[in-house]
Amino acid sequence: MQNSFGEPQTILLLGGTSDIGLAIVRRLASPTLRHVVLACRDPHSAGATASITELGAGGVHVRAVAFDAVDTASHAALIESVVADVGDLDVVISAFGVLGSQRDFDDDPAAAAAAVTVNYTGAVSSGLAVAKQLRSQGHGHLVFLSSVAGERVRASNFVYGSSKAGLDGFAQGLGDSLVGSGASVLVVRPGFVKSSMTEGMQAAPLSTTPEAVAEVVAAGLRSGRRTVWAPGILRFVFMTFRHLPGAVFRRLPLG
Protein backbone atom coordinates (compact mmCIF):
# COMPACT_ATOMS: atom_id res chain seq x y z
CA MET A 1 0.00 0.00 0.00
CA GLN A 2 1.20 3.54 -0.71
CA ASN A 3 2.53 5.52 2.21
CA SER A 4 1.28 8.95 3.31
CA PHE A 5 3.45 10.58 0.63
CA GLY A 6 1.77 8.58 -2.13
CA GLU A 7 4.87 6.48 -2.76
CA PRO A 8 4.03 3.00 -4.07
CA GLN A 9 5.36 -0.29 -2.75
CA THR A 10 4.33 -2.30 -5.81
CA ILE A 11 4.21 -1.33 -9.48
CA LEU A 12 2.97 -3.49 -12.37
CA LEU A 13 3.93 -2.37 -15.87
CA LEU A 14 1.80 -3.90 -18.62
CA GLY A 15 4.09 -3.44 -21.60
CA GLY A 16 7.23 -4.13 -19.63
CA THR A 17 9.69 -2.88 -22.25
CA SER A 18 7.84 0.37 -23.06
CA ASP A 19 10.17 3.38 -22.95
CA ILE A 20 7.45 5.58 -21.48
CA GLY A 21 6.28 2.93 -19.04
CA LEU A 22 9.81 2.32 -17.74
CA ALA A 23 10.39 6.06 -17.40
CA ILE A 24 7.26 6.27 -15.24
CA VAL A 25 8.48 3.40 -13.07
CA ARG A 26 11.83 5.14 -12.58
CA ARG A 27 10.11 8.41 -11.72
CA LEU A 28 7.85 6.74 -9.14
CA ALA A 29 10.66 4.75 -7.55
CA SER A 30 11.47 5.65 -3.94
CA PRO A 31 12.88 3.90 -0.87
CA THR A 32 9.33 2.64 -0.30
CA LEU A 33 9.25 0.65 -3.53
CA ARG A 34 9.55 -3.10 -2.96
CA HIS A 35 8.28 -4.85 -6.08
CA VAL A 36 8.20 -4.10 -9.80
CA VAL A 37 6.65 -6.54 -12.23
CA LEU A 38 7.35 -6.10 -15.94
CA ALA A 39 4.68 -7.83 -18.01
CA CYS A 40 5.85 -8.26 -21.60
CA ARG A 41 5.62 -10.61 -24.56
CA ASP A 42 9.11 -12.02 -24.03
CA PRO A 43 10.26 -11.93 -20.38
CA HIS A 44 13.69 -13.16 -21.49
CA SER A 45 14.31 -10.45 -24.08
CA ALA A 46 17.39 -8.26 -23.88
CA GLY A 47 15.24 -5.25 -23.05
CA ALA A 48 13.48 -6.98 -20.18
CA THR A 49 16.76 -8.36 -18.81
CA ALA A 50 18.42 -4.94 -18.92
CA SER A 51 15.45 -3.30 -17.18
CA ILE A 52 15.44 -5.95 -14.44
CA THR A 53 19.13 -5.30 -13.81
CA GLU A 54 18.72 -1.53 -13.78
CA LEU A 55 15.61 -1.30 -11.62
CA GLY A 56 16.82 -3.96 -9.22
CA ALA A 57 20.08 -2.12 -8.53
CA GLY A 58 18.48 -0.28 -5.62
CA GLY A 59 17.34 -3.40 -3.84
CA VAL A 60 13.91 -3.54 -5.47
CA HIS A 61 12.64 -7.01 -6.34
CA VAL A 62 12.09 -6.91 -10.11
CA ARG A 63 10.84 -9.71 -12.30
CA ALA A 64 9.40 -10.10 -15.77
CA VAL A 65 6.34 -12.19 -16.60
CA ALA A 66 4.77 -13.21 -19.89
CA PHE A 67 1.95 -10.98 -21.12
CA ASP A 68 0.27 -11.13 -24.49
CA ALA A 69 -2.19 -8.32 -25.14
CA VAL A 70 -4.16 -10.37 -27.67
CA ASP A 71 -4.52 -13.39 -25.36
CA THR A 72 -7.41 -11.83 -23.48
CA ALA A 73 -8.40 -15.11 -21.84
CA SER A 74 -5.12 -15.05 -19.87
CA HIS A 75 -5.36 -11.54 -18.44
CA ALA A 76 -7.43 -12.22 -15.32
CA ALA A 77 -5.17 -15.13 -14.35
CA LEU A 78 -2.08 -12.98 -14.89
CA ILE A 79 -3.32 -10.31 -12.48
CA GLU A 80 -4.24 -12.95 -9.90
CA SER A 81 -0.77 -14.50 -10.23
CA VAL A 82 1.01 -11.16 -9.80
CA VAL A 83 -1.08 -10.32 -6.72
CA ALA A 84 -0.35 -13.74 -5.23
CA ASP A 85 3.36 -13.00 -5.65
CA VAL A 86 3.67 -9.35 -4.60
CA GLY A 87 0.42 -8.51 -2.77
CA ASP A 88 -1.76 -5.48 -3.43
CA LEU A 89 -1.05 -3.41 -6.54
CA ASP A 90 -0.38 0.26 -5.81
CA VAL A 91 0.23 1.46 -9.36
CA VAL A 92 -0.53 -0.36 -12.61
CA ILE A 93 0.68 1.22 -15.85
CA SER A 94 -0.97 0.14 -19.10
CA ALA A 95 1.70 1.08 -21.62
CA PHE A 96 1.55 -1.53 -24.37
CA GLY A 97 0.56 -0.82 -27.93
CA VAL A 98 1.60 -0.76 -31.57
CA LEU A 99 1.83 2.23 -33.92
CA GLY A 100 2.03 0.73 -37.38
CA SER A 101 1.80 2.51 -40.72
CA GLN A 102 -1.47 3.70 -42.19
CA ARG A 103 -0.14 2.92 -45.67
CA ASP A 104 0.51 -0.68 -44.63
CA PHE A 105 -2.90 -0.91 -42.96
CA ASP A 106 -4.58 0.32 -46.14
CA ASP A 107 -3.10 -2.66 -47.99
CA ASP A 108 -3.53 -5.18 -45.16
CA PRO A 109 -6.85 -4.95 -43.30
CA ALA A 110 -5.91 -7.99 -41.20
CA ALA A 111 -2.84 -6.16 -39.88
CA ALA A 112 -5.01 -3.15 -39.08
CA ALA A 113 -7.43 -5.34 -37.13
CA ALA A 114 -4.51 -6.95 -35.26
CA ALA A 115 -3.20 -3.52 -34.23
CA VAL A 116 -6.61 -2.46 -32.97
CA THR A 117 -6.86 -5.71 -31.02
CA VAL A 118 -3.62 -4.92 -29.21
CA ASN A 119 -4.29 -1.24 -28.61
CA TYR A 120 -7.95 -1.42 -27.66
CA THR A 121 -9.23 -4.94 -26.99
CA GLY A 122 -6.15 -5.92 -25.00
CA ALA A 123 -6.45 -2.74 -22.93
CA VAL A 124 -10.13 -3.40 -22.21
CA SER A 125 -9.51 -6.97 -21.08
CA SER A 126 -6.46 -6.26 -18.94
CA GLY A 127 -7.93 -2.99 -17.64
CA LEU A 128 -11.07 -4.70 -16.35
CA ALA A 129 -8.98 -7.40 -14.69
CA VAL A 130 -6.85 -4.76 -12.96
CA ALA A 131 -9.90 -2.70 -11.94
CA LYS A 132 -11.47 -5.75 -10.32
CA GLN A 133 -8.36 -6.18 -8.17
CA LEU A 134 -8.09 -2.49 -7.27
CA ARG A 135 -11.77 -2.35 -6.36
CA SER A 136 -11.36 -5.43 -4.16
CA GLN A 137 -8.32 -4.08 -2.30
CA GLY A 138 -9.85 -0.60 -1.97
CA HIS A 139 -6.93 1.42 -3.30
CA GLY A 140 -4.52 1.76 -6.18
CA HIS A 141 -4.01 3.70 -9.41
CA LEU A 142 -4.38 2.46 -12.98
CA VAL A 143 -2.52 4.62 -15.51
CA PHE A 144 -3.51 4.36 -19.18
CA LEU A 145 -1.22 5.71 -21.89
CA SER A 146 -3.66 7.17 -24.38
CA SER A 147 -2.63 9.64 -27.10
CA VAL A 148 -3.59 12.97 -28.60
CA ALA A 149 -4.01 10.97 -31.81
CA GLY A 150 -7.34 9.82 -30.42
CA GLU A 151 -8.61 13.31 -29.67
CA ARG A 152 -9.44 13.99 -33.30
CA VAL A 153 -8.45 11.20 -35.64
CA ARG A 154 -6.36 12.24 -38.64
CA ALA A 155 -6.39 10.62 -42.07
CA SER A 156 -2.64 9.99 -41.86
CA ASN A 157 -2.98 7.50 -38.98
CA PHE A 158 -6.69 6.85 -38.54
CA VAL A 159 -6.38 3.17 -37.61
CA TYR A 160 -4.00 3.94 -34.75
CA GLY A 161 -5.91 7.10 -33.82
CA SER A 162 -9.25 5.33 -33.71
CA SER A 163 -7.82 2.61 -31.46
CA LYS A 164 -6.55 5.28 -29.06
CA ALA A 165 -9.89 7.09 -29.20
CA GLY A 166 -11.57 3.87 -28.11
CA LEU A 167 -9.01 3.29 -25.38
CA ASP A 168 -9.41 6.84 -24.10
CA GLY A 169 -13.19 6.51 -23.89
CA PHE A 170 -12.93 3.16 -22.14
CA ALA A 171 -10.39 4.50 -19.63
CA GLN A 172 -12.57 7.49 -18.77
CA GLY A 173 -15.62 5.29 -18.25
CA LEU A 174 -13.64 2.82 -16.16
CA GLY A 175 -12.42 5.69 -14.01
CA ASP A 176 -16.01 6.82 -13.47
CA SER A 177 -16.97 3.30 -12.42
CA LEU A 178 -14.26 3.27 -9.74
CA VAL A 179 -15.31 6.52 -8.05
CA GLY A 180 -15.95 5.81 -4.39
CA SER A 181 -14.00 2.54 -4.41
CA GLY A 182 -10.69 4.02 -3.24
CA ALA A 183 -9.11 3.18 -6.63
CA SER A 184 -8.64 5.56 -9.54
CA VAL A 185 -7.73 5.81 -13.22
CA LEU A 186 -5.35 8.37 -14.74
CA VAL A 187 -5.60 8.91 -18.50
CA VAL A 188 -2.37 10.21 -20.06
CA ARG A 189 -2.53 11.94 -23.45
CA PRO A 190 1.00 12.45 -24.81
CA GLY A 191 1.80 14.06 -28.11
CA PHE A 192 4.67 12.79 -30.25
CA VAL A 193 7.12 11.03 -27.93
CA LYS A 194 10.72 10.51 -29.02
CA SER A 195 11.11 6.83 -28.21
CA SER A 196 11.96 3.49 -29.80
CA MET A 197 8.38 3.29 -31.13
CA THR A 198 8.83 6.49 -33.15
CA GLU A 199 12.50 6.02 -34.08
CA GLY A 200 13.13 7.13 -37.65
CA MET A 201 9.99 9.27 -37.79
CA GLN A 202 10.08 13.05 -38.13
CA ALA A 203 9.27 14.59 -34.77
CA ALA A 204 6.05 16.58 -34.64
CA PRO A 205 5.81 20.08 -33.14
CA LEU A 206 5.60 20.08 -29.34
CA SER A 207 7.19 16.63 -29.22
CA THR A 208 8.27 15.28 -25.85
CA THR A 209 10.33 12.54 -24.20
CA PRO A 210 9.51 9.52 -22.02
CA GLU A 211 11.06 11.27 -19.04
CA ALA A 212 8.94 14.39 -19.52
CA VAL A 213 5.79 12.25 -19.79
CA ALA A 214 6.81 10.50 -16.57
CA GLU A 215 7.05 13.85 -14.77
CA VAL A 216 3.53 14.72 -15.90
CA VAL A 217 2.22 11.34 -14.73
CA ALA A 218 3.87 11.65 -11.32
CA ALA A 219 2.40 15.12 -10.84
CA GLY A 220 -1.01 13.89 -11.96
CA LEU A 221 -0.98 11.03 -9.47
CA ARG A 222 0.08 13.33 -6.64
CA SER A 223 -2.70 15.82 -7.36
CA GLY A 224 -5.42 13.26 -7.97
CA ARG A 225 -5.94 14.28 -11.60
CA ARG A 226 -8.01 12.08 -13.87
CA THR A 227 -6.53 13.27 -17.18
CA VAL A 228 -3.15 14.79 -18.02
CA TRP A 229 -1.56 16.00 -21.26
CA ALA A 230 2.13 15.86 -22.16
CA PRO A 231 3.10 18.56 -22.77
CA GLY A 232 0.25 20.41 -21.07
CA ILE A 233 -0.18 22.97 -23.85
CA LEU A 234 -1.59 20.23 -26.11
CA ARG A 235 -4.79 20.38 -24.10
CA PHE A 236 -5.49 23.82 -25.55
CA VAL A 237 -4.21 22.96 -29.02
CA PHE A 238 -6.60 20.03 -29.32
CA MET A 239 -9.41 21.97 -27.74
CA THR A 240 -9.16 24.13 -30.85
CA PHE A 241 -8.70 21.21 -33.27
CA ARG A 242 -11.76 19.46 -31.89
CA HIS A 243 -14.05 22.26 -33.01
CA LEU A 244 -12.58 22.99 -36.44
CA PRO A 245 -14.79 22.24 -39.46
CA GLY A 246 -13.75 19.04 -41.19
CA ALA A 247 -12.74 20.79 -44.39
CA VAL A 248 -10.36 23.03 -42.43
CA PHE A 249 -8.98 20.25 -40.22
CA ARG A 250 -8.16 18.07 -43.23
CA ARG A 251 -5.99 20.81 -44.73
CA LEU A 252 -3.83 21.24 -41.65
CA PRO A 253 -0.22 20.00 -42.08
CA LEU A 254 -0.45 17.51 -39.22
CA GLY A 255 1.33 14.61 -40.92
Name the residues annotated as catalytic.
Answer: 160
Rounded-to-integer distance, Cα 185 and Cα 94, Å: 11
Closest among 203, 193, 190 to 232, alpha carbons compared = 190
Closest among 146, 179, 178, 177 to 163, alpha carbons compared = 146
Burial of residue 254, with CB atoms counted within 10 A of its CB: 0-12 exposed, 13-18 middle, 19 or more buried = middle
Closest among 44, 135, 126 to 93, alpha carbons compared = 126
Asked if omega into 245 is within 30° of 0 (cis), the reply is no
Rounded-to-integer distance, Cα 192 and Cα 189, Å: 10
Closest among 15, 132, 10 to 79, alpha carbons compared = 132
Q: What angle do CA 145, 150, 153 make, to 5 degrees?
A: 155
Q: Is the dihedral of CA 118, 81, 16, 172 positive or negative?
A: positive
In Å, how far from its chain's centre is CA 81? 21
Question: 240 to each of 129, 202, 225, 237, how far by Cα in Å?
Answer: 35, 23, 22, 5
